[in-house]
Structure 1
């Protein structure tokens, strides 16, 4: 079994900049061998869902804007950088970038956290379409959608690190 510090070091960033989730999962005895994407994801989802509204809001706010300032400045985590590049968000035209920037600004002003979507398997047009649809949702609906997307992103990240199931 991985030691606590090793587990937190390895999986503390799966939920963007929120190692408290891995800490709580480990401390609650939710982590079991063999480590699989599905098993670790289930272990991490429990404390994420049990976290206070403010803590979950903090996890949402830890996510970068899509094609935003951090991306331009090179300040994304490696995971976020790969995810956004895979969807083509690093190759936007000036017009597309302006549209993403306007949507990001409006979305954050309306909801208090950035637009979050698991971009794997999507392209920039898919993401823009989802953005333009979701911008009309109310804050409560978007909080629920964003937290579900955070869980999906975490699972995709774990799937890149661990086998899907035990061998």
Structure 2
């Protein structure tokens, strides 16, 4: 869809369409809808980013808690959102679903340690990384303090959000072709 179609969506359709741009985040879509009309995709992205930035720290942590564990039980059970399934399957050449048994064990242990330390799952834009990079970042970022890690994780949420938006809204350049 193009930006004029986005602007013409009724409230319910907008929330249905964009409610998972931030994983399980229909509240974000509901709040951003009132800023229509958007002049372009960048403006829509900016409103979503602004919404996230204005949340109190507890709200930011709430967003993070809604995200699934990488290569976690939702992936194994097939209960990931369509968007998360696509993203985790595109991490590197073969995706998170193809971890070796040793990688799976390491991922589960690192995820458990991380979640115990911070209270939310590890977040990384899987589409912009690979398995080795994800495992490395998970180990490295576990050493951050809570404030630093929350900021890093929210930055990753914004990357994911931008990619999801671009999958939904065609850029003006692609639209004209």
Shift of 1:73: 0.9
**What is the aligned partner in structure 2 of residue 82 from structure 1?**
86
Q: Does the aligned pair in 2 maintain the 1:119–1:127 contact within 8 Å?
A: yes
Does 2:59 correspond to 1:52?
no
TM-score normalized by structure 2? 0.87
**What is the aligned partner in structure 1 of residue 3 from structure 2?**
none
- 1:138 aligned residue (120, 129, 145): 145
State the superposition RMSD in angstroms: 1.4
Instruction: For residues 62-111 of structure 1, give each alpha carbon's deviation from its aligned partner in whole angstroms, at most 9, with x where no partner exists.
Output: 00000011111111001000100111100001100000000000000000
Distance 1:146 1:135 in 2: 11
Distance 1:80 1:133 in 2: 23
Shift of 1:31: 2.7
Query: How many pairs align?
Result: 164
Q: Which runs of 5+ in 1 are unaligned?
A: none
**What is the aligned partner in structure 2 of residue 26 from structure 1?**
33
Distance 2:53 2:64 in 1: 13
After the TM superposition, which segments of 4 or more aligned residues of structure 1 sit over 4 Å from their partners? none
Structure 1 residues 76-155: aligned runs within 5 Å: 76-87=80-91, 88-155=95-162
> Going by fraction, where is helix more abundant, 1 or 2?
2
Q: Which runs of 5+ in 2 are unaligned?
A: 1-7
